[in-house]
Amino acid sequence: MGIINLSPDSFSGDGLAVPEAAVEQARRFVKDGADILDVGGESTRPGFAPVSVEEEIDRVVPVIKKLATEISVPISIDTSKSEVAREALKAGAAVLNDVWGLKRDPKLGELAAEHNVPIILMSNQRDKGGYDSKIKRDTSYYQDVMGEVTASLQQSLETALQIGVPRENIILDPGIGFGKTWQQDMEIIRRLGELRALGRPILVGASRKSFIGKVLDVDAGDRKEGDAAVVAISITMGADIVRVHDVQEMVRVCRMSDAIIRS
């Protein structure tokens, strides 16, 4: 999954303010081997400034419309707002990506059911005092971060099923960097296989995240080798989709890892 970031305040500095630049990047990603493009118009970095529904629609819809007429791979809309998702689906998006796992806006699940499209549900600990949250963190809450992530994803999965989303249309994301410490992010990667018990495909979005910077002591734009290691290990531990900034290099890592692990 290649990241098409239309938010100017992205943590990794890859935000594209000009639609033409986003379309050109998307073309390059597809040429480099991306299987899915994930288009987002609002940053989810810690302390991000929220944007209005109207502004988010204005950022993403023109790009999705253009891409939908040019490329053959599915387009995912990365949003936590059902109003934005609805317009994105009209424009040609084919996957919903909800970083709140239906806990903020269950109508996203209704849209997934209505349009019979896949939905990615993420475990987000920011609303429970996670370390990058504005809420004072209760350290005792994280005695078992993988247990919390699994329970959170189980809740989102059950919500989606109750709404009417077919089980086969649900993808789960443990939420690397969302309310966890950098040590817990690494623990989640190490224990990723435990999520197989939920019976759904697993997406890992760890590209350029701060835990890589902590380990390697490098800035967000200089984490490619760290990303490659995380992608390879995630695949070894059971990841089915990886969400990345550097598509060409990570496609090669995926193909090599698959050849060894899943041949």
116-157 pLDDT, tens per residue?
999 999 999 877 654 454 444 444 456 799 999 999 999 999
What pLDDT sits at residue 259?
Answer: 96
pLDDT at 15: 52
pLDDT of residue 10: 52
Angle at Cα 232 formed by Cα 230 and Cα 234, nearest 5°?
65
Beta-carbon contacts of 31 under 8 Å, excluding residues fewer than 6 positions away, are none
| Beta pairing, strands 241-242 & 37-40 | unpaired
* 73/190 Cα distance (integer angstroms): 30
**Active-site residue identified among 243, 252, 255, 262:** 243
| Distant-in-sequence, close-in-space partners of 233: CB < 8 Å, separation ≥ 6 | 189, 190
One-letter amino acid at 261 equals I
Question: For strand 170-173 and strand 203-204, is the pairing parallel, antiparallel, or unpaired?
Answer: unpaired
Determine whether 243 is an active site residue.
Answer: yes
The confidence score (pLDDT) of residue 18 equals 77
CATH number of this structure's domain 79-261: 3.20.20.20
CA angle 210, 74, 40 (to 5 degrees): 40
What pLDDT does residue 33 have? Answer: 98
pLDDT of the residue at 13 = 47
Any idea where the domains of the chain sit in the sequence? 79-261
CA angle 23/33/190 to nearest 5° reads 110
Q: How many other C-beta atoms are found inside a 10 Å radius of the C-beta of residue 210?
A: 18
CA 229 to each of CA 73, 170, 214, 220: distance values in angstroms, whole numbers, following the listed order: 26, 26, 14, 15
CA distance 11 to 32: 23
Retrieve residue 84's tokens.
């934005």
pLDDT of residue 14: 52
Strand partners, 54: none
The single residue of 59, 180, 209, 223 carrying the catalytic annotation is: 209
- Report the alpha-carbon distance of residue 139 to residue 131 in Å, rounded: 9
pLDDT for 16: 65
- pLDDT tens sequence for the chain (263 residues): 999 999 875 544 455 667 888 899 999 999 999 999 999 999 776 666 788 999 999 999 999 999 999 999 999 999 999 999 999 999 999 999 999 999 999 999 999 999 999 999 999 987 765 445 444 444 445 679 999 999 999 999 999 999 999 999 999 999 999 999 999 999 999 999 999 999 999 999 999 999 999 999 999 989 999 999 999 999 999 999 999 999 999 999 999 999 999 88
Is-contact 3 241, C-beta < 8 A? no
pLDDT value, residue 140 = 42
Using CA atoms, how far apart are residues 41 and 9, in angstroms rounded to an integer? 10
Read off the tokens for 209. Answer: 């995240």
pLDDT at 133: 46
Residue 209 known to be catalytic: yes
Angle between helices 82-91 and 107-115 (to 10 degrees): 20
